[in-house]
Chain A
Amino acid sequence: MITLLLTGAASAAVAAAPDAQQRNFVACPIVRDTASVPCWLAEYEGELYFLTLQTDVSAPVNPPMLGHKVLVEGRRTDKPRICGGIVLEPVRLSVVPALDANCNQLLPAEAQYNLDFEPPRPPGPSKGRLAFNTLDVQQAPVAPQRVEKQFSIGYDFDGRVGFKHPALLQPVLDYALAIKARSIDIEGHQGAALLSDGSVLSEAAHLAQQRAQQIAELLQGAGLTAPRYTVHWVDAAPAPNGTDDAPQRRVDITVRP
């Protein structure tokens, strides 16, 4: 059974400007080919920024998509430029769901932009490993203590469940099955992003609810039907500050024995 509750709304306060090193903007991504893997870049106020490289599914930062704008939330660093772009790190990239045919720049390789390091993964076969290990799902201990446990599932801006989520959902499922959970509490959140130009971008209306309900459906669909589910959501986003807006885009799950 699922109980739906509305947990009350936080109020969106007036936004301040983000920190000086922060670069938050929406732009068309640009692909720059190299002698190995392509670079992903974007321009903001006349500067070119390096977003990420093509690697593989396991990368902490996955490249965006041509055909769509991307929301960039990153910190400017003094690291050597990559593919001509100022390196943003950490950086979060969220593909804007709407299609945009104007985002279609694929630049050819130029010797000056070739990588001066070995990329985590070549453009072809894998050499037998993932470039990063984030996909290694932590196995639940054989007989975990039957205690209440919290999990948090993060999202891209305006995002729903996608290819990154199996690795986050599996531990919830494993734990809940292992302790024979009696109840699961799911609380959906949504956020807003303070852009470098001072404007605020809010996630789609009702996303917190949709996120929370989807998580409940997925866990049940994966066979976790025994526990009692309570699904809440927080309908409005707290005021964004431009530096840590991303963690607001999440669903919190409490698994209880």
Chain B
Amino acid sequence: MKPLLALLMALLFNGLAHGETARRWINPGENGGLAADGSYNNAQGLLGVLNAAGAVNVDGHPFFAPLGRNGRACVSCHQPQDAMSLSLESIRQQWQVTQGQDPIFAAVDGANCPHLPQQDPASHSLLLNRGLFRVFLPWPPHDAAGKRIEPEFSIEVVRDPTGCNLHPQYGLSSAQPMVSVYRRPRPAANLKYPTHQNFGVSSFIGKDGLPTARDPDTGKPTSMNLMADARAPSLRAQAADAAAVHLQRDAPLTRQQLDGIVAFESQVYIAQQNDKHAGSLIEESGPSAFGPRALLKGEAGVLGNNTSRWVFPMEGKWTALPRGNGAAADARNAARESIARGHDVYMFRTFWIRDSMHLNSVGLGNPTKRTCATCHGMHMTGMDTANGWMDIGSTNLPWARETPLNPWTTDKPELPLFKLTCRNDIAPHPFLGRVIYTQDPGRALISGRCNDIGTIVMQQLRGLSARAPYFSNGSARTLRDVVDFYDRRYNIGYSEQEKLDLVNFLGAL
């Protein structure tokens, strides 16, 4: 590459170089490049984006090119500045800047339902208010061999504010019955972790003994950690599906395009690397938990522990830091200590985890006295090592966030609500019985299993500050909302200090 071009590329997509950084939206088909070491501002500091294979020329690159009918590229919804996901902030900004013309708002899934008037922001309210895309899945599901799965439950649509689930063309009673749920994009980065072939990957799912989905190319069992419902068995399968659905591409991707997409995704690492209060998170003398390079170096697919390989290795650093070196240094040290305390809350502060499917049902007892790290245990990402779908109540009632209805509000529920009734010839769901109300049946839409209703695959706890809101249904606007949700859900009783510390820790990841 010519030096001038290299410089231009650096300028195009990154403020970077010496810590000076900017937010930068990348449009599909834009010319330019992505530096090897990029960084982008967010409200909490700076996100680091590391291209381990070196600077990326995006001209014609299949991850960045509009390969389908609607002008979108993968990058449309997986933006480097947003931790290779998409923040609500960026979505709203794009609506403003393009007056709703950005291809992310395409009718297919960037609207509450394709039949709605597309120029009206109300038709995109789930995207504009909660960062949610429509995910439409055939019902009933089919297994990998194409055989129909006989579901263990029936589905009724109780509430359909988007009009999509009852729509004659798009709904459950249409010629090709579909369930529409609404979900956040997930980081297309650090992907060696969600796709590892290590601990917990075997021919049978560790949580329920059912057969593990196998990679269609290799035939090997997978870790089943991609997408909210683990429906994508591999990055190639995911990309092929994303091109057909999100990009509305008619022809299959070429082998070269698939290779290019997967190669790019597999070498890009993201993590927060600078905190507005704690300063650099990646100093040589600091903990090794932070910054994208930690993700590059980390071993994939191993369970974190508290002896050698922590979930997020702090090495006991940032405790009892000195004071008296001026107000700025003191404040920075106080912020670093808060992050370290937050880590300890995450690792060691026990609470009673209760009635959570695929955690309380796997031999720990119900309730079990454990910590955040019990579910979020994978080294470096805090995912579950394999088959990471569980029900914490993020989408299942009675815990899911619902709009309060009363005579004094005009607020209306935004998400659909389904009533699922489990068949009588199977055991009832151990915590929810036979009748379950949910905003998103999650894994159950793929497996057809009663016990999977409302179970969602956890995402990496990385780049969180760059990609609010949280949970697959965007129900937590801030990290404080996440912590408050858990405090309420499990009756934890965190002190204000514990909450602050935990939020600071999560924000630094």
Contact B209 A163 (CB under 8 A): yes
**Is A256 close to B, CB under 8 A?**
no
Using CB atoms, name the residue of chain A closest to B348.
A124
Q: Smallest CB–CB gap between B143 and chain A, Å?
A: 8
Instruction: Provide the bound-state CA to CA distance between A124 and B431, in Å.
Output: 23
Contact B211 A56 (CB under 8 A): no
Residues on A with beta carbons closer than 8 Å to the beta carbon of B203? 166, 169-170, 173, 222-223
CB-contacts of B347-379 with A (<8 A):
347-348, 350, 352, 354-355, 360-371, 373-374, 377
Residues on A with beta carbons closer than 8 Å to the beta carbon of B98? none
The 0/1 profile, CB within 8 Å of A marked 1, for residues 424-439 of chain B is: 0001101101000000
Chain B interface, number of residues (Cβ within 8 angstroms) = 49
Q: Smallest CB–CB gap between B134 and chain A, Å?
A: 30
Contact A166 B209 (CB under 8 A): yes
**Is A31 close to B, CB under 8 A?**
yes
Contact A128 B309 (CB under 8 A): yes
**Is B204 close to A, CB under 8 A?**
yes
Using CB atoms, name the residue of chain B closest to A59.
B363
Contact B219 A223 (CB under 8 A): yes
Instruction: Provide the bound-state CA to CA distance between A137 and B364, in Å.
Output: 20
Using CB atoms, name the residue of chain B closest to A173.
B203
Contact A99 B371 (CB under 8 A): no
**Is B210 close to A, CB under 8 A?**
yes
Binds A, one of B27-35, B125-133, B172-180, B298-306: B298-306
Contact B368 A163 (CB under 8 A): no
**Is A38 close to B, CB under 8 A?**
yes
**Is B332 close to A, CB under 8 A?**
no
The 0/1 profile, CB within 8 Å of B marked 1, for residues 45-83 of chain A is: 000000000101111001111111000000000000000
Contact B364 A125 (CB under 8 A): no
Contact B366 A222 (CB under 8 A): no
**Is A9 close to B, CB under 8 A?**
no
Please pick, from B348, B366, B369, B428, the residue contacting A125 in the complex, using a CB distance under 8 A.
B348
Contact B209 A162 (CB under 8 A): yes
Interface size class of A (residues with CB under 8 A): 35 or more
Assuming the contacts A99-B428, A124-B306, A137-B202, asked whether A162 and B367 have C-beta atoms less than 8 A apart, the reply is no
Residues on A with beta carbons closer than 8 Å to the beta carbon of B361? 65, 162-163
**Is A228 close to B, CB under 8 A?**
no
Instruction: Provide the bound-state CA to CA distance between A66 and B367, in Å.
Output: 7
Residues on B with beta carbons closer than 8 Å to the beta carbon of A170? 202-204
Q: Smallest CB–CB gap between B399 and chain A, Å?
A: 15
Binding site for A on B (CB under 8 A): 143, 202-212, 214, 219, 221, 303-309, 311, 347-348, 350, 352, 354-355, 360-371, 373-374, 377, 427-428, 430-431, 433
Binding site for B on A (CB under 8 A): 31, 33, 37-38, 40, 54, 56-59, 62-68, 95, 97-99, 106, 123-129, 137, 158, 160-166, 169-170, 173, 218, 221-223
Contacts A63-B363, A66-B367 known; 4 new A-B pairs at CB < 8 A: A63-B364, A65-B365, A128-B306, A222-B203
9 pairs of A and B residues whose beta carbons are closest in the complex:
A63-B365, A221-B211, A128-B305, A165-B209, A62-B363, A166-B204, A65-B366, A161-B209, A125-B306
